[in-house]
Structure 1
């Protein structure tokens, strides 16, 4: 058997200044995985994971960066021949990425430019150094030896990654303004401005035809693909121009540029980012879950069954859910196996997140016993994309680390945050299911609707004023910034008197009802809020959650023509 890993993943995708960069980072890695898979013909190799993709153009990255193969029974490959095959494919993957980055230079500059050949060579060199391809092989005999051989294979791959060689990378010029790591192909200053004006193609450097963005004054303006002041390395230029490459290389690929955060915000100033990751996937792929499954399967059959289920979910369900529940402005960036990344209108985030989680743990997903954790970040559309993505990953880890106060449930959680333009972050983590078995997200959605229809705008302020003194704080002291990082995290303790909370909540809800409102059962709402509080880590975080729901309610109201957005 053989395994191949193509990367880096997180740093490669996170080095993004525009949503097009974010899309391209994901799509390029998926494309390289697809090219690697094509190099292992089906008559000689069985793709255990992932399932081989169907032919046809798509602009959604759908393949994970890791490939597991076994040779077909009739294959005559020796261990030496298989190792040579892996080396050849690894070299081919690197070559493909070099092609993408060299092509980007051709797309951006006139061939008559005196620096044209130098830029192409530097872009190819940077591409070769940036892409990482690791592989390992391990022989096995019969189904009984598969699990043991796979465990050895994983250790071999980890060892290969630990033995990577870092070559010298001499840098003499400006640093890339996107990744901040590699030397930019061009610099700033008068002489470079003149050369870019003379030799840079107008569709890249001059014509403001790419998309709309909002400048620092709040005005909307059209911008070119490479903005004034940007200096890109060969890798980041390759990502920026990747769509042109794929339009030439993939028949039927005619997809427009990825919409900007301004486009997705739809006239508002906030946009939402969603990241999902399956829980305990190591247990699913290691075969640990196989003994609990009602259908007996051999080790290889189990691995392919898991891969097939994940492929069906990611390729047939995810984008359908994102578009159906997120609306026409919602966009899937990546859907590979159990991993999902999407950008959404903030008023629709709870619906999309809920449907993705419910479907993943169903007959249409991996399995009814499967769970996943999701992070949602609602950020200002001008927030630096790389910062938002970094925080989104941190928040996903918080969801993965969830443990109920009674210690009986862990993971399978939703972490949600609002990043205000002022720098404040309201953050909360809740389980997908409450102790009663109800879906938490269904209640959250209903509460947002009822906040809009039945309760006054002052509800949250009254709510916070009543409960902050109970945890030894005040509304103004509700948040504190973490030292050095500018983070704002929940502090404080828990209110442990449920009867007191229930009575006070019911009183506050009755006081906040709109004039003439009689349809709300204040007692039921109070009971539901107390139940939610019991599953959260602190009363402050519970208050954060109500603040976030109030914020989503205001965004929904604005979309319907109501008041402006702001964070409470």
Structure 2
């Protein structure tokens, strides 16, 4: 990338014989030239992760997507750029454009005589887009915030990097050069002078210790309806996210509570459970009657009369729900009288009676899924033409749309983010495995159409963290990302993590998608539900693997025929752990086929057969744990024992 500063340096530093050539080159650069321009917009991970509510988490990723989309539209509509990433079709409807999700990377070919001005225009558009969200939130809060501190924090958020190269020669070489420029640019930081503000004695934000809270003390009644808890301190950025549904984003959004509750709700609504549904409906009608004297109960469950408000089924969520349904005038009176606390106690007593009657209670766990394409950089660098790159990004946009449909429509989850090859979503426990498997299959299907012939197909890795709804979202997200990283060690894998909130033994395993882990775990769940296998069998498999690993370490086991030996050991465990009401032949016929691969791998490598035994043992433990935690086995599970 050449500019006038380089020309000045070459002129000044002792090369008079080249002055005429340099001036000619300068004149050429003033003519419209094709540039490959690359933009990176942030902050990303830390901005998204700073969240207490799931809606905070979603809105953080949504805002970044909308800001990046604004950059793309500025390039496409104002500067008539040929967009490479994201894919923008001129025939897109407004609805399609609204639902388009964009990563924080924007790439385009721009014909201009001043690429720097193009970059400044894009930066201005991005900044104004962010300020539009911030100003709407500020207007809604009125005089309940510290204005100067708000302005300073809002102005200081956006990170914007832009680089460009003249599009000469092979496209793939120019792309590589431009990406190297971006990597170099990101090593530099823009340091702005601090603006005056009160910095001594100010409370720090609960979600971002690097920023001060902009909330005024003694104003909680003004904040209660916005979902701000007593004594919660929030900075300007966190408040913009918290107020998302009050600034034009009132679409239905499932909280972690809603997602976890879905498994219980599905059970209640099964035709065979009509008596259970009658009891649950009766409880729900009673609490609506209790609340309607003070609150607008039509707002429960987002105003849907045929849907339960999940928060009313969890004692630790009831008070928060009641408080959010109060107006500011009600809050100033009812909070003093501690009415929400008294009503919470009353509803909790009725809830205990309900759970004792139906012998079931909803799980407090949900699945946080994070997925990412493997070897995407190598694949992109292999694109030899602009057209190939555009086709690839078009298919990535299609994948993002398909993932949204899989998560929200097929499996009753909540999409947090789907842009490019990155996926983040919340799912009920009983759907998380099927959703992960279907997302992975959809990615492979779409990549077959996106990648040019002769280029190796990217794969997809998924991390599933099974977490408790009361765990801080930021910590849950960090955990999910660490599990995704475990899956990406092998690539093309599914990694699962679970540890009960009571602090029991953690379960962590990485499973190659080639082993069909979703089908295997679902089969094991079905066998557990039918009584063919038990927790004792699952942990006995773990013990069997540990014993043979110890024998191998001391070289006291024959390598030849190890796979067949392991299969016979598993058969012995199946018979030893079988229930009295199931015949031996039936038991072996149902369970043993899952372990047939032990013998096949053992003929090739004893270490492979031991590794497979370990994976199967962990899948068995996870399958049974998912059934127990979800409470779908018909027994009552408390949070501490689930």
Whether contact under 8 Å (1:17, 1:385) holds in the other structure is yes
Whether contact under 8 Å (1:373, 1:413) holds in the other structure is yes
Aligned to 2:465: 377
Aligned to 1:272: 367
Distance 1:275 1:520, change over 3 A: same
Whether contact under 8 Å (1:45, 1:70) holds in the other structure is yes
The whole-number CA distance in structure 1 between the counterparts of 2:519 and 2:556 is 24
- 1:163-185 per-residue CA deviation (whole Å, 9 max, x = no partner) reads 11244657331111012221111
Q: After superposition, where does 1:152-191 map in structure 2 within 5 Å?
A: 152-167=177-192, 171-172=199-200, 173-186=202-215
The whole-number CA distance in structure 2 between the counterparts of 1:543 and 1:513 is 17
Structure 2 portions without partners, runs of 5+: 1-35, 262-361, 452-456, 602-606
Which of these residues, 175, 178, 186, is aligned with residue 150 of structure 1? 175
Aligned to 1:344: 427
What is the Cα deviation at residue 528 of structure 1?
3.9
Which of these residues, 492, 497, 502, is aligned with residue 422 of structure 1? 502
Aligned to 1:323: 408
Aligned to 1:96: 129
Whether contact under 8 Å (1:174, 1:186) holds in the other structure is no
What is the Cα deviation at residue 362 of structure 1?
1.0
What is the Cα deviation at residue 98 of structure 1?
2.5
Aligned to 1:334: 417
The whole-number CA distance in structure 2 between the counterparts of 1:530 and 1:122 is 67
Q: After superposition, where does 1:116-155 map in structure 2 within 5 Å?
A: 118-119=146-147, 121-141=148-168, 144-155=169-180
The whole-number CA distance in structure 1 between the counterparts of 2:149 and 2:555 is 56
The whole-number CA distance in structure 2 between the counterparts of 1:174 and 1:26 is 26
Aligned to 1:459: 537
Whether contact under 8 Å (1:431, 1:535) holds in the other structure is no
Which of these residues, 95, 104, 107, is aligned with residue 65 of structure 1? 104
Whether contact under 8 Å (1:63, 1:337) holds in the other structure is yes
TM-score (normalizing by structure 2): 0.68
Whether contact under 8 Å (2:400, 2:418) holds in the other structure is yes
Distance 1:523 1:548, change over 3 A: closer
Q: Which structure: larger Rg?
A: 2
Aligned to 2:51: 16
Aligned residues: 477
Whether contact under 8 Å (1:414, 1:432) holds in the other structure is yes
Whether contact under 8 Å (1:417, 1:428) holds in the other structure is yes
TM-score (normalizing by structure 1): 0.77
Q: After superposition, where does 1:38-49 map in structure 2 within 5 Å?
A: 38-42=73-77, 44-49=80-85
> Does residue 583 of structure 2 align to residue 550 of structure 1?
no
The whole-number CA distance in structure 2 between the counterparts of 1:86 and 1:277 is 29
The whole-number CA distance in structure 2 between the counterparts of 1:70 and 1:260 is 40
- 1:118-146 per-residue CA deviation (whole Å, 9 max, x = no partner) reads 42x432321222221111111113xx432
Structure 1 portions without partners, runs of 5+: 208-223, 248-253, 291-297, 403-410, 474-491
Whether contact under 8 Å (1:49, 1:307) holds in the other structure is yes
Distance 1:196 1:363, change over 3 A: closer
> Does residue 393 of structure 2 align to residue 393 of structure 1?
no
SS of 1:138's equivalent in the other structure is strand
What is the Cα deviation at residue 493 of structure 1?
13
Aligned to 2:582: 516
Distance 1:124 1:51, change over 3 A: farther
> Does residue 635 of structure 2 align to residue 562 of structure 1?
yes
Aligned to 2:441: 358
What is the Cα deviation at residue 536 of structure 1?
8.2
